[in-house]
Structure 1
Amino acid sequence: MAIKLGKTKDSRTRKKKVTEDAELELLQRLQNEKDQPEFIKYLLQKGYSIKSSERYLKDIERYKKWLNKENITEAAASYNDITHYIQSKKGTVKQITIQTVLASLKQYYNYLQELGFVAENPTVNVQIKGIKRKVLHNILTKQELEKIYFDYKNLESESLSKKRNEIIVSLLVYQGLNTNDIQNLVIKDVKLREGKIFIKGSRRSNERTLKLEAHQILDFMEYQLKTRETILQETNKQTDLFFVTQGSSLKLQNVMQKLMQQLHKQNKQVESVKQIRASVITGWLKVYNLREVQYFAGHRYVSSTENYLINDLEDLKEDINKYHPIA
């Protein structure tokens, strides 16, 4: 009888997954590579992935061939030239692919502008009709966010869970934290003497240290010294987690779910933690530059932060009046 040999454990695991450190090391090597195209280095430094950078480069190489054919230089290319090139793609590729090509061109001209090769980016006002701009959430203003916090804070309740949840709501509204950020906070991350809070990084986010509002510090202090200790004693728990539940679990899923239901009951505009976070990030973008907001939000790539730019409804209204879509 023939014996069928299967794969051994060694053969199955011989090909190791690329670790996060290895990816970062590869990015660094590519950025320093002497023969690496400068445009690739530019994109990598901007936080784009290797795959996206290579795709952008291919788009630009095709664009350059078209320019040569039309006897146009990069520096001389105008808005009309860009729209003509984009229109030449119609009927041969999908609209979403055309949108990607336009994104490549926009980044390339940003790159040329930084180098001083062009005075203006000719792609700025070019838009593709038929591509829906994705508004991530129903964005709340800073005033609406603060109303959510103070409405909850002013509820007539002295319960332990209410005092704990006040702190959670403040972190949603002022620091734009998500559920995982809140869940993973430990005592040492809250630096009350400095008036700051440290948020650990993860596979999908960067670590950062954020400033607490002055009124948050006193509330944090009361929670840490009184409310938290009382909950620990009542539940016989021993944990370094900053937020503790009154049930048997250490996880905050049920707490967050009930809290969001309560916030929605108070204010019908409240939809989710993601909506509140998106609103905070969108508000930051009106005050701080892109890189600063990337840090505050913990985004690994600046492209993630750029996604929130489309949430600004005022900008969307300006788009309607200012931009000339391609039919």
Structure 2
Amino acid sequence: MKTFETYLQGLGLAASSIAQVQRSLVLCEQKTGVLESLTYQDLLVFVRYLQQSGSKPYTINRHLSSLKHYFSYLILQGFRSDNPAQNLRVKGGVVGLSFQGLDFAALEHLYGAYQGAAELKALLSLYIYQGVKTLEVRHIKVGDVDLTKGELSLRASGVGANQTGARCLALAPGQILLLHQLIGGRSANAGLFVVGDRYDALTQALFEEVRRLNPLIVNAHTIRRVVISHWLKSEDIRLVQHKAGHLRVKSTERYRVAHLEELQQEIARLHPLSD
């Protein structure tokens, strides 16, 4: 097995740089009590410590770069599936998230890395492959899923600016077996996910894990924006309008230009260290 030092040498790091990386790891472990199993929240605690100790943004980012190397090494060795330092940076004293890498490929990577309950993975799949809105998920019935045709029918929902139209969307191949297991022998009129008051608990559990795997993904709306942007790269805008459930094409057009800036603002607003 390749050692971490050998891994760093393979990246072309000088001996002095490797020593700095090792010092960063020791400091992080001292202040958080963990290293290999470090979570994103643990990492935020470490960054807070560095800020309160008077470290400059350059120094903090150097520590984060060291940790990024370490977690990349652990992923390569099969000890982790995520890198909590991947998109974290400090700019002007404020901790933020780099937007680079949040595209549809990142969503598919997230889907592959997600190891939660089958019901939660099925819910995540609808956000990623059909771009559904949270309100729409509440109204999906078992009978709306046609596994033979590989289709999902969505009802019109919402009011005003949040209204979406009815539509029929193709299921991705990997969703068929997952949804088949979820449906079982339940009645066509039963809710696909909603049983009593379980829906809020389901979504909370799902996105707690999602944010651990990729902190850039704030909520279901973040995923939907990335999905619609991805569709617009290769499909006619009228088709994307239908798939997104937009009643007006102007609602779809704004994703071509404004969605990246809006996502940046949303992440900055909702990220726990953006204040």
What is the CA-CA distance between 1:251 and the residue it aligns to?
Answer: 5.1
Q: Which runs of 4+ in 1 moved over 3 A?
A: none
Aligned to 1:210: 169
Are 1:143 and 2:108 counterparts? no
Q: Which residue, 175, 178, 197 being the options, matches 1:219?
A: 178
Contact 2:152 2:170 in 1 (8 A): yes
Are 1:242 and 2:192 counterparts? yes
What is the CA-CA distance between 1:311 and the residue it aligns to?
Answer: 4.6
Superposition pairs of residues 46-125 of structure 1, within 5 angstroms: none
CA distance 1:288–1:184, change in 2 (3 Å): same
Task: Give 5+ residue unaligned stretches, structure 2.
Answer: 1-98, 261-275
CA distance 1:285–1:200, change in 2 (3 Å): same
Aligned to 2:37: none
Aligned to 1:276: 223
Q: 1 CA distance for matches of 2:241 and 2:102?
A: 19
Q: What value does the CA root-mean-square deviation take over the aligned residues? A: 2.6
Query: Which structure has the greater CA radius of gyration?
Result: 1
Aligned to 2:40: none
Q: 2 CA distance for matches of 1:239 and 1:218?
A: 20
Q: 2 CA distance for matches of 1:139 and 1:200?
A: 32
What is the CA-CA distance between 1:138 and the residue it aligns to?
Answer: 8.3
SS in 1 for 2:234: coil
Q: 2 CA distance for matches of 1:262 and 1:255?
A: 11
Amino acid at match of 1:281: I
TM-score by length of 1: 0.45
What is the CA-CA distance between 1:286 and the residue it aligns to?
Answer: 0.2
Are 1:293 and 2:252 counterparts? no
SS in 1 for 2:125: helix
Are 1:170 and 2:125 counterparts? yes
Aligned to 1:187: 142
Q: Which residue, 140, 150, 153 being the options, matches 1:198?
A: 153
Q: 1 CA distance for matches of 2:218 and 2:237?
A: 26
Contact 1:139 1:311 in 2 (8 A): no
TM-score by length of 2: 0.53
Are 1:304 and 2:254 counterparts? no
Contact 1:139 1:278 in 2 (8 A): no
SS in 2 for 1:198: strand
Q: 1 CA distance for matches of 2:252 and 2:145?
A: 25
Q: 2 CA distance for matches of 1:299 and 1:164?
A: 27
Q: How many residues get paired?
A: 159
CA distance 1:138–1:190, change in 2 (3 Å): farther
Aligned to 2:76: none
What is the CA-CA distance between 1:182 and the residue it aligns to?
Answer: 1.1
CA distance 1:139–1:295, change in 2 (3 Å): farther
Q: 2 CA distance for matches of 1:151 and 1:275?
A: 18
SS in 2 for 1:206: coil
CA distance 1:197–1:186, change in 2 (3 Å): same
What is the CA-CA distance between 1:258 and the residue it aligns to?
Answer: 2.1
Q: 1 CA distance for matches of 2:126 and 2:258?
A: 21
